[in-house]
Chains A and B, each alone.
Chain A
């Protein structure tokens, strides 16, 4: 199984400041179609998860351009250019390259 390792566990951020969450996969997520099958989800308090980024860097419909996904080999990063209060919650990366699909442990973004 592909192991997804996320860091940090907790991320206190001041509104207006940038934030960065890292995710590393134990195997390459690069498919034969040339895409990295890595998705990012946000689970706001008391809600179901929602899709933010797919294929490592593609924003889902309705996701503001403050959110950006990058990839370097097996290292993935979710960057928020300017954190807003509505961004709080737990962020998860997930590999969709192969089953079993596996998630990172989550990063809790807290607003200072």
Chain B
């Protein structure tokens, strides 16, 4: 069974830092692109960042709202995904979801999020 378990959320002051983790199990983690998606309280979904797999050089992509402040990374040896968040703002307050991208291949197109974690809450407030 695929499992994605986020941790590391909490209360932090504006300008502070936080590191989120996502522990993956039940699948070959190293094969998949992995993303972070967030949801502010009572609001819709917002894509945050992506890290591709080793075959695609672990390349990363970011939403403009977090670029230069957040860093996504992965450790395939630990089946773990991370999000380092710096210079946090009040508008970063949200539930942060770890999401697995469906296996990317030429014979099976599509890049949807086929599995999501339960989320971890980040609150940025003084």
A and B contact pairs by CB, cutoff 8 A, 29 listed: A31-B109, A35-B109, A35-B110, A37-B110, A37-B111, A39-B110, A48-B117, A48-B118, A48-B119, A49-B45, A49-B113, A50-B116, A51-B112, A51-B114, A55-B109, A55-B110, A92-B45, A94-B47, A96-B111, A96-B112, A99-B47, A99-B50, A99-B61, A100-B47, A100-B61, A100-B64, A101-B50, A103-B46, A106-B45
Complex CA–CA separation, A60 to B64 (angstroms): 30
Q: In the complex, how many residues of chain A place their beta carbon closer than 8 angstroms to a beta carbon of chain B?
A: 28
On whether the beta carbons of B63 and A100 are closer than 8 Å, the reply is yes
Complex CA–CA separation, A50 to B47 (angstroms): 15
A-side residues, CB < 8 A to B, are 1, 31, 33, 35, 37, 39, 41, 43, 48-51, 54-55, 58, 60, 90, 92, 94, 96, 99-106
Total number of residue pairs linking A and B with CB closer than 8 Å: 67
Using C-beta atoms within 8 Å of the partner chain, give the interface range for chain B.
20 to 34
Q: Which residues of A contact B37 (CB under 8 A)?
A: 49
On whether the beta carbons of A49 and B50 are closer than 8 Å, the reply is no
- Do A105 and B44 contact each other (CB < 8 Å), given the known contacts A48-B118, A99-B50? yes
Q: Which residues of B contact A43 (CB under 8 A)?
A: 45
A sample of 11 more A-B contacts (CB under 8 A), given A94-B113, A96-B112, A100-B61, is: A39-B112, A39-B113, A41-B113, A49-B113, A50-B116, A51-B113, A58-B110, A94-B45, A100-B63, A101-B50, A104-B44
In the assembled complex, how far is the CB of residue A65 from the closest CB belonging to chain B, in whole angstroms? 18
6 nearest CB pairs, A to B: A54-B112, A101-B47, A48-B116, A39-B112, A99-B61, A103-B45
Nearest residue (CB) in A for B116 is A48
Within 8 A of A (CB), among B81-126: 97, 102, 109-114, 116-119
Complex CA–CA separation, A51 to B46 (angstroms): 15
On whether the beta carbons of A103 and B109 are closer than 8 Å, the reply is no
User: Which of B62, B97, B114, B117 has the most chain A CB atoms inside 10 A of its CB?
Assistant: B114
In the assembled complex, how far is the CB of residue A85 from the closest CB belonging to chain B, in whole angstroms? 23
